[in-house]
Amino acid sequence: MPLLANFAQQNLEKASTQNRLRTLKTSAREEGIYVRRNGKKLISFSCNDYLGLSQHVDVKKAAIEATEKYGTGSGASRLVTGNNPLYSELENLLAKAKGTEAALVFGSGYLANIGVIPAIVGKGDLIVADKLVHASIIDGCILSGAKLLRFAHNDVDSCAKLLAKNRSEYKNCLIVTDNIFSMDGDIAPVDELYTLANNYDAWLMTDDAHGLGVISTNHTHKPHIQMGTLSKAIGSYGGYVCADKIVIDYLIGAARSHVYSTALPPATIASSIAALKIIASNKELCAKPLKNALLFTKLMGLKNAQSPIVPFIIGDELKTTLFAAELEEQGFLVAAIRPPTVMPGTARLRFAFSALHKVVDIERLVTSCQLLVARIIYSRST
């Protein structure tokens, strides 16, 4: 057995030769849409704080007031003494936003997915998941011990075929998909999947991490479980699920990541409440990220954005990293997303548009991108 240090060294070297080494870069977010890295002020096209609410004066004020009133930490899990009075206000707002009877807040979106899925399916059950669902869904599926099958991305027929062939061999069945895909920005065919779920006696769960506050997908039918996060457009932290009250009552004691993890800090809950109130009363603000994304796709000659997330798929991992580094040199912060976050051969730049971007910011970005496309992607030297 190698020394742990040698083991780590070998793995780091392997990642490095594959251009997949991951390191942390200190990034200080500043007022508005800016991030400071290595002393340089960059305009960010890489934050999921789509409405800029993490910097909003009313949201910050709510967090400060809650800290002064209740302190910085919650002291215990919610089932012990951590169930601060702010939770019920937040859960009512979430249930209202999603049109369900009830909601349950978790420590994060990741914790919601790894808690909810094993609470509703297990050994002897079947999960049918879109090929591109978020890693936290996959982790929840693996933890559950249920059989996991993947259908082709956003392909209802592929999902139907898997159900037709396999459903009868299992007891309970869960169909799960992102609502808006985090690395592709496209939208799942939720109504069709709901119909399939009904036809095959299955439950449908959607992950709306990137939807709430920016894309209102008005499905005819409500998925049985609607999961999401408070860390993106809500600008705070935490995860949630919305469902019938009886389902929520069950999850309170059955989702292990809810039972065995400390409740959120009061400031975090209070800022989510303040943000949700802004979202409920400001349609124009909520429409802006998509508008900005559409301007970008139009100017770049890409197909129309469906959400504030726009992928620009390059494929080659080195070129993708180089492209992002050049953009950073020019003052733009754009994430280079590589495998294993996305499938091999689909390394990409992931642009995230905010309500705070101005038309000129997007025009400047497009100009830089077009020059880099010519230089990096079409060059024969790399």
Ligand X SMILES: *Cc1c(COP(=O)(O)O)cnc(C)c1O
185 touches ligand X (CB under 6 A): no
> Phi, psi (5° rounding) for residue 239?
-125, 170
Smaller CB separation from ligand X, 136 or 307: 136
SS3 assignment, position 19: coil
SS3 assignment, position 16: helix
Residues 204-233 as x/- pattern, contact with ligand X by CB under 6 A: ---x-xx------------------x-x--
Whether 182 is a known active-site residue: answer yes
350 touches ligand X (CB under 6 A): no
Q: How far is the CB of 115 from ligand X (least distance, A)?
A: 11
> Cis link prior to 340 (omega < 30° from 0)?
yes
Active-site residue, from 56, 210, 288, 357: 210
Active-site residue, from 232, 258, 288, 319: 232
Which tokens in the block code for residue 353?
A: 């548009």
Active-site residue, from 54, 182, 231, 236: 182
188 touches ligand X (CB under 6 A): no
Q: Which stretch binds ligand X (CB under 6 A): 52-60, 68-76, 105-113, 246-254?
A: 105-113
Q: If DSSP states are collapsed to H, E and C, what string results for 247-303?
A: HHHHHHHHCHHHHCCECCCHHHHHHHHHHHHHHHHCHHHHHHHHHHHHHHHHHHCCC
Smaller CB separation from ligand X, 63 or 372: 63
Whether 232 is a known active-site residue: answer yes
Residue type, 288: K
Q: How far is the CB of 359 from ligand X (least distance, A)?
A: 27
184 touches ligand X (CB under 6 A): no
SS3 assignment, position 231: coil
110 touches ligand X (CB under 6 A): yes
CA 132 to CA 138: how far, in whole Å? 10
> Which CA distances in Å does 194 have to 56, 177, 207?
37, 11, 14
**Number of residues counted as binding ligand X (CB under 6 A):** 14
178 touches ligand X (CB under 6 A): yes
Q: Which stretch binds ligand X (CB under 6 A): 36-44, 103-111, 168-176, 266-274?
A: 103-111
Burial of 20 (0-12, 13-18, 19+ CB in 10 A): middle
Chosen residue from 182, 206, 297, 320 binding ligand X by CB under 6 A: 182
SS3 assignment, position 175: strand
Which tokens in the block code for residue 198?
A: 């009904």
CA 35 to CA 45: how far, in whole Å? 10
The residue to which tokens 């909520």 are assigned: 286
Chosen residue from 52, 82, 109, 311 binding ligand X by CB under 6 A: 109
Smaller CB separation from ligand X, 138 or 278: 138
> Which CA distances in Å does 321 have to 32, 48, 134, 316, 324?
26, 20, 22, 9, 5
Chosen residue from 108, 226, 257, 354 binding ligand X by CB under 6 A: 108
Smaller CB separation from ligand X, 235 or 369: 235
Chosen residue from 100, 136, 177, 306 binding ligand X by CB under 6 A: 136
Smaller CB separation from ligand X, 91 or 207: 207
Whether 131 is a known active-site residue: answer no
Smaller CB separation from ligand X, 4 or 24: 24
Q: Which stretch binds ligand X (CB under 6 A): 72-80, 85-93, 109-117, 139-147?
A: 109-117
Rg (CA), the chain: 21
46 touches ligand X (CB under 6 A): no
CA 55 to CA 171: how far, in whole Å? 47
Chosen residue from 239, 265, 266, 308 binding ligand X by CB under 6 A: 239
Task: Report the residue number whose CB is nearest to ligand X.
Answer: 109
CA 273 to CA 230: how far, in whole Å? 10
The residues carrying an active-site annotation are: 182, 210, 232
Residues in touch with ligand X (CB under 6 A):
108-110, 113, 134, 136, 178, 182, 207, 209-210, 229, 231, 239
